Amino acid sequence: MKITLQSIAKQLDVSTTTVSRVLSGQGKKYRISPVTEELIRETASDLGYIPDQVAKGLRMRKSYTLGLIIPDISNPFFSMVARSIEREARRGGYAIILSDTQETTQIEIEAIRLLQSRKVDGFIIFPAGGEINHLISLVQTESPVVIADRYSKELKCPFVISDNYRGAFDATTHLLEQNHRNIACIQGRPGTTVSDDRVRGYRDALEQYNIPEHSQLIVGDSFGEANGYVSAKLLLSRDNRPTAFFLCSNLISLGAMRATLEEGLKIPEDISMISFDDQPYSEYLATPMTVVAQQTREMGQIILKLLMAQINDDAPARSEGVVLPTKLIHRKSVKTLRVKQLL
């Protein structure tokens, strides 16, 4: 027996319209109580209800799919935000089509074209960085778009980012407060707002403490493990090697830790570290890592809210952004230097 909206409504003694509104993700819009929403969803699941998405899409002139484009699915930060986005989308009756651009603009361009051909209802894009003309063109089509993590003022659409500058400033300031003065920064991809804002926060913290900036202490060219490994090896080979690393991503930190251990050095006894991004494994490392945590779950929720507002015509697309605060989480990877160690 095929389970329909009518059979669910009959079992619960509610209207078919109410069931339809809940299962299409419009319960809040029509002020249906959370208790009723939950009861309808549970009943639909228990009965094995499968919505006819094709018929629904034709009727509503929607595909009920969203395009999600991210630079690197292997990066836990992106996978955690993607999980939050998918969870929120599913609750609203939407499916996600995911594309991993591998930090490559050309793949990003191809992904947008593919998603346009699939008639997705909206786009969530974590730009690879660099060229953005294709993103400007997409926004100009008036398709619902939200930009995340990396942004440009030239893109006239909503965006959601972390306060990368403040996170980096706070991390570097903490190292300075522990008497570190020779602090290196292993950056991500130069030219992306994420990396540039973090490097700027690092530099401004040094300036506040009247510490001269040494360009040789800012190295790196990507957010991956290999960059962390090679850059750390380079820095540790210096005659006056740094006493601390500020690492601009979780993957960079993994590479830097491996390089440090291969050199026979200990964390934090020989070198202190603070990494951007708090991952589930960070506190279970041999030396639990002090980190700058981003609000991945909240970021995903806000991204979906901004996109659905455009799709449902609840709000016009504006170039206003949401900047989420970061939090410095203290663990065991930073050592306080004695004054004589500074000499």
Instruction: Indicate if 175 and 130 belong to the same structural domain.
Output: no
Look at strands 244-247 and 183-186 and give their pairing: parallel
Instruction: Indicate if 189 and 335 belong to the same structural domain.
Output: yes
171-183 pLDDT, tens digit each: 999 999 999 999 9
Whether 58 is covered by a domain: the verdict is no
Instruction: Indicate if 270 and 306 belong to the same structural domain.
Output: no
Compute the half-sphere exposure of residue 259: CA atoms within 13 Å on the CB side of its CA.
Answer: 23
Instruction: Indicate if 269 and 136 belong to the same structural domain.
Output: no
Instruction: Indicate if 193 and 335 belong to the same structural domain.
Output: yes
Instruction: Indicate if 264 and 176 belong to the same structural domain.
Output: yes
What percent helix, strand, coil does the chain show, rounded to 5? 45, 15, 40
Instruction: Indicate if 76 and 225 belong to the same structural domain.
Output: no
Instruction: Indicate if 334 and 319 belong to the same structural domain.
Output: no
pLDDT reading at 190 higher than 70: yes
Residue 343: what pLDDT? 46
277 contacts 292 by C-beta, under 8 angstroms: yes
Three-state SS for 239?
coil
CA distance 222 to 290: 21
CATH for 221:
3.40.50.2300
Instruction: Indicate if 213 and 306 belong to the same structural domain.
Output: no
Residue 182 CA to chain centroid, in angstroms?
A: 30
Whether 56 is covered by a domain: the verdict is no
Instruction: Indicate if 243 and 117 belong to the same structural domain.
Output: no
164 contacts 197 by C-beta, under 8 angstroms: yes
130-153 pLDDT, tens digit each: 789 999 999 999 999 999 998 888
Host domain of residue 47: 5-51
Global pTM value: 0.81
Three-state SS for 69?
strand
Instruction: Indicate if 170 and 255 belong to the same structural domain.
Output: yes
Instruction: Indicate if 182 and 282 belong to the same structural domain.
Output: yes
Q: What is the DSSP letter of 151?
A: -
191: left (phi over 0), alpha (psi -120 to 50) or beta: left
5-64 pLDDT, tens digit each: 888 988 889 999 998 888 877 888 888 998 899 999 899 888 888 776 544 554 456 899
185 contacts 246 by C-beta, under 8 angstroms: yes
